[in-house]
Structure 1
Amino acid sequence: NNAQRQAFERPYGLAWLLQLAMELDEWSQEEKDDSNEIDQWRENIRPLEILIVDRLSSWLPKLSYPVRSGEHSQTAFALGLSLDYARHVKNLKFAQLIEEQSSRFFSSDKLYPFNYEPSGEDFLSAGLAEADLMRRVMYKNNQDFIHWFNEFLPVNNLSSRLEPPSIADPTDPKLIHLAGLCLSRAWMLEGIIDALPFNSEQRNQLDQLSKRNAQAGLTAINESHYEGGHWLGTFAIYLITRRGINSKI
């Protein structure tokens, strides 16, 4: 709680911690033989959880512009994880803050330049993360999201740069980020697809693109290489479980 370390792990690590709190909260509500131990884990994490919500709540209104990087500092991805958490634990004040700030950052975006992605060490797509966040923000009126998304990424403007990238050296700790990019693209596309009309050309195109990225990302996981093996499994599980789509909102 050092006042000089307010930015520690902000926002990426903080958002993942909130996901852990959410997971423990769900687990503690299930009937299990070891429920006492799980309940203790849930309570043990609560002080840190409260601190993180306070820090993010203080920081977000002061963030003049969203960070659109493809790495840890990105704004949209962290807000998506945090919003899922806030809704699950029924922290309506925190959820409303995220929704309001997300709209401030992204609601007027049009014709996102996907041809500028990816950068060589990305593990997140700034454009797809933004769209997947706005899908969450607009979930009460899906037509609003469809209208927004059609202006953000028109069906005839799908960039070939969203195809799975080549990973030149899977033992390089930065270059292997592109495998994570494939996995996160796949789950973000799945989230977006979930909000689009059935049997539309746009939905079908994005579904195929998601599957190609998922295959490339899953194939790239190699436990013998620590550089990717120590974190890509988390991304793979998040994709396979459809965590960002199945979360109760």
Structure 2
Amino acid sequence: MRLDAASAGRLAALALACVGREFPNQPGHVMQRAGELDRPRSLHPAFFGCFDWHSAVHGHWLLAHLLRRFPGLPQAGAIRTALDSALSAANLQVEAEYLRRHPEFERPYGWAWALKLAQERGNLQPLEGVIVQAYKQWLPRQTYPVRSGTHTNTAFGLAFALDHAHPELKPLLIQRALDYFGNDRDYPAAWEPGGNDFFSPCLIEADLMRRVLPDFRGWFDAFLPELPASLLEPARVSDRNDGQLAHLDGLNLSRAWCYFSLARALPDRPLLRKAGERHLETGLAQLASGSYAGEHWLATFAAYALACAGD
């Protein structure tokens, strides 16, 4: 289970098939007046493909990541063309203005992936700056964390923003992580997974806190005194044509990246690495299921899990 040129090519093919595909599309657009609704390509000239905005964003992250890792890919020319076309200064200006007008749009999942794309690409201005400011305006107002297994999960939004490490934002991210999660104990992990999770709320929280706490081991032992079977066994998907149920394929991949990262933080616990490998193997088997419900986004989760595995 490693990312080599052959597997990178397969992941790139999945992303290239999606980033320029405008329909089907779930826009998530809040209309303020009659006549405001427009085509996805007009509202979001950079990120109109892949069914929804956040998947388009992380689809471009995937392409940029693969191109950096494997510049000799057969699809390298197509990847460069796709990235240069989508991420033009004019397109990013439109995306930035949209977020200024709709400050809750894609919070925090899409924001986090946009910062991850900026980290990989090197520059995503002015959109990058708008998102940094949006975090600064949002986090002081959010009293409680959202502990869901889907897009609104607070811990994920903080974790990827911390990786981006903007100097104006980093102290606030660390403080809010401590405020929200620093005193968590005895998490009921046996209640997971939820029926439409693509994150494990407890593992994604632990993956955040390893970035924050000097004594992560002590916190982790109090937070997850034991790992129940429901957290160690990969999730089962009954219908991959159902977009909500297909989330569970992504759960297996995001659990994998959390387990690999936790195993590096706690190297004396081989169970973590073993659980990551089992989840990764299960998730990778479903990348090309033939259903767009999964194929528009799972390749990104696979690539990130493989990166966390250390290839």
Say yes or no: TM over 0.5: yes
Counterpart amino acid of residue 237 in structure 1: A
Partner of 2:159: 80
Equivalent position amino acid for 2:241 in 1 = T
TM-score, normalised to structure 1's length?
A: 0.82
User: Aligned ranges for residues 99-178 of structure 1 at < 5 Å?
Assistant: 99-138=174-213, 141=214, 144-154=215-225, 157-162=226-231, 163-178=233-248
Name structure 2 gaps, 5 residues minimum: 1-96
Asked whether 1:214 is paired with 2:280, we answer: yes
Deviations along 1:186-208, whole A, 9 cap, x unmatched? 00111111111x3x3xx111221
For residue 65 of structure 1, the aligned residue among 133, 141, 144 is 144
| Equivalent of residue 258 in structure 2, options 164, 173, 188 | 188
Query: Which residue is 1:10 aligned to?
Result: 107
Aligned length: 213
- Local SS of the residue matching 2:206: helix
Aligned-partner Cα distance in 2 for 1:151–1:82 = 25
Q: Matched residues in 2 for 1:124 and 1:80: separation?
A: 13
Q: 1:212 Cα shift?
A: 1.2
- How far is the alpha carbon of 1:145 from its aligned partner? 0.4
Question: Structure 1: which amino acid aligns with 2:110?
Answer: G
User: What is the Cα deviation at residue 224 of structure 1?
Assistant: 1.8
Q: What amino acid is aligned across from residue 177 of structure 1 in structure 2?
A: H
CA distance in structure 2 between the partners assigned to 1:189 and 1:129 by the alignment: 9
Letter in 2 for 1:217: G
TM-superposed CA distance for 1:135, in Å, is 0.3
Aligned AA for 1:14?
Answer: W
Q: Work out which of the residue numbers 190, 204, 216 in structure 1 matches 2:270.
A: 204
Residue 174 of structure 1: CA displacement? 1.0
For 2:153 and 2:129, how far apart are their aligned partners in 1?
22
Partner of 1:37: none
Confirm whether residue 236 of structure 1 aligns to residue 302 of structure 2.
yes
Q: In structure 2, how many angstroms separate the alpha carbons of the residues matched to 1:50 and 1:93? A: 11
Paired AA for residue 188 in structure 2:
P
- Could you tell me which amino acid in structure 2 is paired with residue 55 of structure 1? A
Pairwise CA distance, 1:63 = 0.4
Provide the aligned C-alpha RMSD in A: 1.6
Contact residue 153 and residue 201 of structure 2 kept, 8 A: yes
Q: Report the Cα distance in structure 2 between the residues aligned to 1:126 and 1:111, rounded to whole angstroms.
A: 13
Per the TM alignment, residue 93 of structure 1 is displaced from its structure 2 partner at its CA by 2.5
Structure 2 length-normalised TM: 0.66
Q: Does the CA-based 8 Å contact 2:240-2:289 persist in structure 1?
A: no
Among 173, 179, 198, the alignment partner of 2:249 is 179
- Counterpart CA distance in 1 for 2:152 and 2:218 is 28
Quote the offset at 1:149 in angstroms. Answer: 0.5
| Structure 2 Cα separation of the partners of residues 205 and 18 of structure 1 | 31
1:90-134 deviations in Å (ceiling 9; x for gaps): x32311110000000000001111111111100001100100000
Partner of residue 22, structure 1: 119
1:24 offset after TM fit, Å? 0.9
Q: Which moved more, 1:220-229 or 1:181-190?
A: 220-229
How many angstroms apart in 1 are the aligned matches of 2:113 and 2:301? Answer: 11
State the 1:173 CA deviation: 1.0
What SS does the aligned partner of 1:206 have? helix
Which structure dedicates a bigger proportion of its chain to helix? 1
Q: Which residue identity lines up with residue 204 of structure 1 in the other structure?
A: P
Aligned-partner residue type, residue 13 of structure 1: G
For structure 1, the 5+ residue unaligned runs are 26-41
